[in-house]
């Protein structure tokens, strides 16, 4: 498969050479058989194949493939979607300075911030993005990952929880569902976000539509953070951005360079949008990505036995 020129960054460690296809299929078959599943799979000689893969840094990821040859990669480390390719166009970005070997959270993809967003009582953005999630079930086009407490998480946050993250590669979109369940006897609070990195052909080619006009936002780039009011219908980024738009959850990315749009369809749970771009930072590759994050900024209080769900789908389109 191919990707549109100029939209593909730091992808070398997440894509294996076609010559290693045999190894991938063998690994998938072994994985499926060890779980009592038919090996099945999309073992198309010339196209991508679905299944559990290992990257050059030793990290495992699941590749989903649909009938049209669209693909999505989901790393078990961090439960992170690092790629969504539809009709040859890559929509998800990974920063060129990202570590793809587990030495630090993946800076890119649909990265989980949980149970905390940003700085706070525990580590920046929480721990969900630097633990290994496990595969509960998978098919060629879907995977369900789970994250449960461990000694590591309990040291920081001693709560009984179960997080489930499902990704479904459909014909016209990539659907995700984050579910948090309180398995303990006492209530707990959390924040959540998908710190989503999306590809852009160049930042000057991007505008972001949505219900931004008239909304108040927290501009974290001013002093300790300042509340301001947005007066634009569409956001254009021409300086460093770190902004929390509470009550906005319908962003649409429009890229005049690729001629593509990407609708971030938040249909449950995700109430807010954070925009982040380290404008001018070449090392981070600022010119080829934007973070348009699906966020639940005000903490959720979950009673014993209760659960919370965030539904988000990425829907590609043409300008």
Ligand X SMILES: O=P(O)(O)OC[C@H]1O[C@@H](O)[C@H](O)[C@@H](O)[C@@H]1O
Burial of 229 (0-12, 13-18, 19+ CB in 10 A): exposed
Shortest Å, Cβ 140 to ligand X: 30
Binding status of residue 240 toward ligand X by CB under 6 A: no
Interaction mask 87-106, ligand X, x per CB under 6 A = ------------------x-
Q: CB nearest ligand X: which residue? A: 107
Task: Kindly tell me which of 93 and 167 has the beta carbon lying closer to ligand X.
Answer: 93
Handedness of CA 200, 206, 208, 213 (dihedral sign): positive
List the one residue from 83, 107, 141, 277 that touches ligand X (CB under 6 A). Answer: 107
Task: Kindly tell me which of 66 and 107 has the beta carbon lying closer to ligand X.
Answer: 107
Shortest Å, Cβ 22 to ligand X: 34
CA distance 274 to 125: 13
Task: Kindly tell me which of 41 and 109 has the beta carbon lying closer to ligand X.
Answer: 109
List the one residue from 276, 286, 297, 308 that touches ligand X (CB under 6 A). Answer: 276
- By CB under 6 A, how many residues form the interface with ligand X? 4
Q: Which two tokens stand for residue 13?
A: 């460690």
Shortest Å, Cβ 274 to ligand X: 6
What b-and-e string marks burial along 232-265, b requiring 16 or more CB atoms within 10 Å of the CB?
A: eeebebeeebbbbbbebbebbbbbebbebebbbb
Q: Which two tokens stand for residue 260?
A: 């593509």
Shortest Å, Cβ 151 to ligand X: 23
Binding status of residue 242 toward ligand X by CB under 6 A: yes
Task: Kindly tell me which of 105 and 285 has the beta carbon lying closer to ligand X.
Answer: 105
Binding status of residue 271 toward ligand X by CB under 6 A: no
Shortest Å, Cβ 312 to ligand X: 17
Task: Kindly tell me which of 108 and 310 has the beta carbon lying closer to ligand X.
Answer: 108
Task: Kindly tell me which of 130 and 166 has the beta carbon lying closer to ligand X.
Answer: 130
Task: Kindly tell me which of 172 and 298 has the beta carbon lying closer to ligand X.
Answer: 298
Shortest Å, Cβ 133 to ligand X: 17
- Assess contact for 62 and 165: CB atoms under 8 A: no
Which residues contact ligand X by CB under 6 A? Answer: 105, 107, 242, 276
């Amino acid at each position: 498969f191919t990707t549109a020129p100029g939209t593909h960054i730091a992808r070398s460690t997440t894509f294996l050479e076609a010559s290693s296809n045999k190894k991938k299929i063998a690994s998938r078959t072994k994985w499926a058989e060890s779980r009592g599943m038919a090996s099945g799979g999309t073992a198309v000689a010339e196209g991508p194949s679905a299944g559990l893969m290992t990257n050059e840094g030793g990290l495992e990821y699941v590749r989903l493939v649909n009938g049209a040859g669209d693909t999505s990669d989901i790393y078990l480390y961090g439960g992170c979607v690092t790629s969504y390719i539809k009709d040859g166009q890559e929509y998800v970005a990974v920063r060129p300075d990202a570590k793809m070997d587990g030495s630090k959270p993946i800076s890119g993809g649909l990265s989980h911030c949980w149970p905390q967003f940003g700085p706070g009582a525990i580590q920046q953005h929480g721990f969900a993005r630097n633990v290994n999630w496990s595969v509960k079930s998978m098919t060629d086009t879907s995977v369900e990952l789970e994250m449960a407490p461990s000694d590591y998480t309990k040291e920081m946050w001693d709560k009984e929880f179960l997080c489930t993250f499902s990704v479904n590669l459909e014909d016209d979109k990539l659907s995700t569902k984050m579910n948090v369940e309180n398995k303990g006897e006492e209530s707990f609070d959390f924040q959540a976000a998908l710190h989503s990195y999306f590809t852009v052909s160049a930042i000057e080619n991007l505008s972001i539509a949505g219900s931004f006009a008239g909304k108040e936002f927290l501009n974290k780039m001013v002093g300790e953070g300042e509340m301001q009011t947005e007066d634009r219908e569409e956001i254009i980024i021409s300086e460093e951005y770190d902004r929390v738009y509470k009550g906005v959850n319908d962003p649409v990315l429009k890229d005049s360079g690729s001629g593509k749009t990407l609708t971030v369809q938040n249909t449950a749970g995700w109430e807010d949008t954070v925009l982040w771009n380290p404008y001018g930072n070449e090392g981070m590759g600022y010119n080829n990505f934007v973070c348009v994050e699906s966020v639940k900024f005000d903490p959720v209080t979950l009673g014993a036995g209760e659960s919370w769900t965030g539904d988000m789908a990425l829907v590609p389109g043409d300008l």
